[in-house]
Amino acid sequence: MGSQKQAFILLSVLSFFNFLLLSGADDVYYEFILQETEFTKLCSTKTVLTVNGSFPGPEIRARRDDTVYVNVHNQGRFAVSIVWEGIRDSINGVNELIQPGRNFTYEIELDDEIGTLWWHARSAWAKATVYGAFVILPAAGEEYPFPAPTSDHAIILGEWFRQELTESVVPGQPDAYAINGHLGESYGCNDTSYQLQVDYQGLYLLRLINAVANETMVFAIAQHSLTIVGQNASYAQRSFSNSLTLAPGQTVDVLLSASQNVGQYYITARSSSSGRLNTTGILYYTTSTGF
Ligand X SMILES: *[C@@H]1O[C@H](CO)[C@@H](O)[C@H](O)[C@H]1NC(C)=O
- State yes or no: residue 103 binds ligand X (CB under 6 A): yes
- State yes or no: residue 250 binds ligand X (CB under 6 A): yes
- State yes or no: residue 278 binds ligand X (CB under 6 A): yes
SS3 91: strand
- State yes or no: residue 249 binds ligand X (CB under 6 A): yes
Nearer to ligand X, 141 or 188 (CB): 188
Contact window for ligand X (CB under 6 A) among 7-15, 75-83, 102-110, 282-290: 102-110
Amino acid letter for position 115: G
Task: Region of 24 please: left (phi>0), alpha (psi -120 to 50) or beta.
Answer: left
- State yes or no: residue 214 binds ligand X (CB under 6 A): yes
Report CA-CA distances (Å) from 148 to 91, 140, 197, 205, 248: 31, 15, 18, 9, 28
Kindly tell me which residue out of 55, 104, 144, 177 binds ligand X, with binding defined by CB under 6 A. 104
SS3 176: strand
- State yes or no: residue 52 binds ligand X (CB under 6 A): yes
Nearer to ligand X, 71 or 287 (CB): 71
- State yes or no: residue 239 binds ligand X (CB under 6 A): no
- State yes or no: residue 124 binds ligand X (CB under 6 A): yes
Q: Are 202 and 152 in contact (CB under 8 A)?
A: no
Residues contributing to the site for ligand X (CB under 6 A): 30-31, 33, 43, 52, 58, 71, 103-105, 124, 170-172, 186, 189-190, 213-214, 231-232, 247, 249-250, 268, 270, 278
